[in-house]
Structure formats: C-alpha cells, structure tokens
C-alpha cells in the first residue's frame, strides 16, 4: 500500500512493521474472503459497481431489506470517515510540505486540510457515477504505486553504493552514482527474479485494467452533477 511508509515512520518500533503488515493482511483476508465469496455466489453478475445498490431479487420482506441496507450504509459511512483520516494523511503531509505549513498543530493546518476535503467533495459531486473513473485510477496509478514502482525503486536503491546512499539521504549531491560492485551488497538472484515478476505482472494487469476502464468510460453516459 502506498501509505505504508508513513505508517512505519510513525511507529515506535519501525522494525516490527513487517509483522504488523502480515497480521493485518491475515485479518483482512479472514474477514473479506468469506464475505466476498458468499456475495459472489448469491448475486453473481448482478453485482453493480456500487455494492450498496445491489439488492437481491428474492427478498420477501421489503421493509427488512430496507432496514438492513440502511444499517450497512451507516456502517460503511463510519468506516469511510475513519479510514479517510488515515489514508489522506500522507497526501496532506506532502502538500503541506510544499505549502510550508508547520508540522505542529496550528490553524494553518486546519484550514489547509479543510480546503483539501472541500476539493475532494467537489470532485465527488462533479462525477456522480464514479465507478468508471475509480476503475481508471485503480488500473493506472494504483498499479504503479502498489506494484511497479516499489519493486523498481527497490532494485534501483540496492544497486547504489552505501556511501552514495548516505550522501543522497543527507541532501548532498552525488555527481556520479556508482553501482554496487561488492557481491555482499548485491541482491540474491531469487529476489531480483521475484521483483521483476512483480513488475511484469503489474504492468500487464495495469494495461489490461486501464484499457477496460477507458472502454467503459467511452461507452458510459455521465449524468450532470447536482449543482447544475
């Protein structure tokens, strides 16, 4: 996940991050896999891009169905509100560094982040049917951030000498970056192959999903936003 580096930086023991990620993904898999599997076998291809709009045709009691949908919408809303605070934090920190907003709590940070949220709301209201756009973003930028760039940057960083890396981290310019010659500093072959496979699979999947999303956008009819 592209937000993982900032999570690791904020931890008291950054070295334990790998165990936190492993445990977190196991918990998510145990929660998501049964739910998604059951939903797939029940609804099948009737699932819409917004899962909340998907309703079973075999529901006898409409009132019970409406109550269940309302409960689910409330829980999803709470999840999105709390999750947005975590996911948007790295993005806001990056923008604040360019805008020279102080790192400590101040009114400037409150105003800046409020403006960011207003912009997000404006984009959400401007594109009511966000499924196709979300697929395009997921197929292009998310694929780059989650699969291609991490492995590519890792291979590039491991090819730089440790002395040059220290100079780069400290902000000093290095005229010529020397590649690693010492075998002890190099990567095992299986690690290189694994990262190259991740890059290739991410590239193929990204191209396929991006093409599918663009095709869906061309064939879809966008409705006017509410403020028009």
Rounded mean pLDDT of 128-142? 79
> Do 135 and 212 touch, CB atoms closer than 8 A?
yes
The pLDDT tens digits of the residues spanning 82-131 come to 888 888 888 888 899 898 888 888 899 999 999 999 998 888 888 767 77
pLDDT bucket at 14, cuts 50 / 70 / 90: confident
The reported pLDDT for the residue numbered 180 is: 46
In this prediction, residue 161 has a pLDDT band, given cuts at 50, 70 and 90, of low
Are the CB atoms for 140 and 206 separated by under 8 Å? yes
Q: Which of 17-21, 147-151, 171-175 has the highest mean pLDDT?
A: 147-151
Residue 171: pLDDT band with limits 50, 70, 90: low
């Amino acid at each position: 996940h592209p937000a993982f580096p900032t999570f690791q930086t904020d931890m008291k023991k950054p070295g334990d991050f790998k165990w936190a990620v492993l445990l977190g993904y196991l918990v998510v898999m145990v929660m998501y896999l049964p739910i998604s599997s059951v939903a797939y076998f029940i609804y099948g291809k009737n699932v819409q891009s917004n899962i909340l709009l998907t309703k079973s045709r075999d529901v006898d009691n409409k009132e019970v169905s409406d109550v269940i949908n309302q409960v689910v919408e409330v829980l999803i809303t709470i999840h999105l509100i709390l999750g947005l605070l975590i996911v948007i934090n790295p993005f806001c920190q990056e923008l604040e560094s360019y805008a020279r907003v102080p790192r400590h709590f101040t009114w400037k940070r409150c105003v800046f982040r409020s403006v960011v949220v207003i912009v997000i709301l404006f984009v959400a209201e401007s594109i009511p049917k966000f499924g196709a756009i979300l697929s395009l973003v997921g197929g292009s930028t998310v694929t780059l951030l989650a699969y291609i760039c991490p492995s590519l940057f890792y291979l590039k960083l491991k090819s730089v000498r440790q002395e040059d890396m220290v100079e780069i981290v400290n902000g000093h310019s290095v005229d010529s970056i020397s590649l690693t010659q010492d075998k002890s500093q190099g990567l095992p072959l299986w690690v290189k192959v694994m990262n190259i496979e991740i890059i290739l699979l991410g590239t193929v999947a990204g191209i396929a999903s991006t093409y599918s999303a663009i095709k869906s956008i061309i064939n879809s009819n966008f409705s006017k936003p509410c403020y028009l």
